[in-house]
């Protein structure tokens, strides 16, 4: 989302949304990230999945950044699964693993009716 703004996407009919924020060398989440994710949650239909990757390195305060998002209640009210994960130095493997988790969660939600 560093290069794009959220308002240019239509996600209302998506089963899953995958976001990545680049937090390398950062101690805090940028307010725009929090605002964009809040809007994504608001625009997502119930029983959908949002997977958020936080790209980090040794200088990143990952747990602090996750705490600052503090959007669990908003996601819960909308019945949206909000999954955060850390993307480290071997980020390609991390992304593939979490894309698999995202797709499995979507599949489970679709077949749970």
Q: How many residues does the chain have?
A: 113
pLDDT mean for each 10 residues of the chain (113 residues)? 55 83 90 93 90 86 91 93 84 68 78 66
Question: Does the pTM exceed 0.85?
Answer: no
Q: How far apart are CA 44 and CA 40, in angstroms?
A: 6
The residue extents of the domains of the chain are: 16-110
Residues 6+ apart with CB under 8 A from 110: 15
Where are the alpha helices (H) located in 30-80, listed in sequence order? 31-43, 62-69, 72-77
């Amino acid at each position: 989302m560093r290069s794009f703004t959220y308002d240019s996407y239509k996600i209302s009919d998506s089963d899953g949304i995958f976001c990545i924020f680049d937090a390398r060398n950062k101690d805090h989440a940028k307010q725009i990230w929090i605002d964009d994710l809040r809007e994504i949650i608001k625009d997502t239909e119930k029983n959908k999945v949002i997977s958020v990757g936080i790209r980090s390195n040794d200088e990143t305060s990952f747990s602090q950044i996750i705490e600052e998002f503090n959007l669990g209640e908003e996601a819960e009210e909308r019945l949206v699964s909000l999954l955060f994960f850390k993307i480290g130095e071997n980020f390609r493997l991390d992304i593939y693993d979490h894309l698999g988790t995202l797709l499995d969660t979507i599949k489970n939600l679709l077949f749970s009716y």
